Amino acid sequence: MTLQHPADRGGVGRGKFERFAESVSTVTSSPAFFVFCLALVSFTVAVHIAGIATEWLLLAGDSMTAVTLLLLALLKNSELRAERAIQRKLDAIAAALLEAQEGAPGKAHENLRDVIRMEEEL
Torsion angle, CA of 74/40/31/79, rounded to 10 degrees? -20
Assess contact for 7 and 121: CB atoms under 8 A. no
Which residues, in sequence order, are CB contacts of 88 under 8 Å at separation 6+? 7, 115, 118
Write the pLDDT tens digit of every residue in 27-49.
Answer: 888 889 889 888 888 888 888 88
pLDDT for 120 equals 54
User: Quick check: 52 pLDDT over 60?
Assistant: yes
Q: Is the pTM of this model over 0.75?
A: no
Question: For 88-108, how does the pLDDT look when each residue is reduced to its tens digit (9 = 90+)?
Answer: 888 888 877 777 777 766 777
Structure confidence by residue, pLDDT tens digits, 5-33: 555 555 556 678 778 877 887 888 888 98
pLDDT score of 53:
83
Contacts 24+ apart (CB under 8 A), 29-36: none
Q: Which amino acid is at 10?
A: G
Contact 89, 118 (CB under 8 A): yes
DSSP label at residue 103: T
Distance of CA 27 to the CA centre of its chain: 12
d(CA 119, CA 122): 5
